[in-house]
Amino acid sequence: MLLGRKARQAWRLAISDPHGQSKYMTAPDKEDLRHGMHAPSRPSPVVLWIGGSCIVVELVLQAADFGLIGSPLWRSLAYQNGAFWPGLLRGWQANYSAQPVLMFVTYAFLHGGFGHLAGNMLALLALGRIAAAHIGQRAFAVVYTVSALGGAATFGVLAQSPQPMVGASGALFGLAGAWLNWDYVAHRRLWRLIRGAGFLAGLNVVLWFLLDGALAWQAHLGGFLAGWITVALLKRRQSGGWG
Phi, psi of 179 (to 5 degrees): -60, -45
pLDDT, tens only, 119-142: 999 999 999 988 888 788 999 999
Does 241 score more than 70 pLDDT?
no
Q: Is residue 13 part of a domain?
A: no
Determine whether 147 is an active site residue: no
Phi, psi of 84 (to 5 degrees): -90, 115
User: What is the residue range of 38's domain?
Assistant: 33-237
CA angle 76, 118, 221 (to 5 degrees): 80
Give the span between the Cα atoms of 238 and 234, in whole angstroms.
6
Q: Is residue 243 part of a domain?
A: no
Q: What average pLDDT does this structure show over 8-30?
A: 38
Residue 228's closest CA among 196, 203, 187, 199? Answer: 196
Annotated active-site residue in 38, 111, 220, 239:
220
pLDDT number for residue 43: 80
pLDDT number for residue 76: 96
Residue 61's closest CA among 113, 100, 16, 13? Answer: 113
pLDDT number for residue 37: 54
Give the span between the Cα atoms of 197 and 202, in whole angstroms.
9
Check residues 213 and 141 and name the one with the higher pLDDT.
Answer: 141
CB 44 within 8 A of CB 141: no
- Give the CATH number of the domain where residue 60 resides: 1.20.1540.10
Q: Is residue 8 part of a domain?
A: no
Domain count, the chain: 1
Does 236 score more than 80 pLDDT?
no
Does 111 score more than 50 pLDDT?
yes
Determine whether 220 is an active site residue: yes
pLDDT mean across residues, the chain: 84
Residue 147 pLDDT grade (very low, low, confident, very high; cuts 50, 70, 90)? very high
Residue 131's closest CA among 10, 39, 200, 32? Answer: 39
Bridge partners (DSSP) of residue 84 are: 165
Q: Is residue 83 part of a domain?
A: yes
Q: What average pLDDT does this structure show over 210-233?
A: 92
Across 2-16, 72-86, 131-145, 229-243, which has the greatest mean pLDDT?
72-86
Annotated active-site residue in 71, 97, 169, 187:
169
Q: Is residue 3 part of a domain?
A: no
Q: Is residue 113 part of a domain?
A: yes
Does 105 score more than 60 pLDDT?
yes
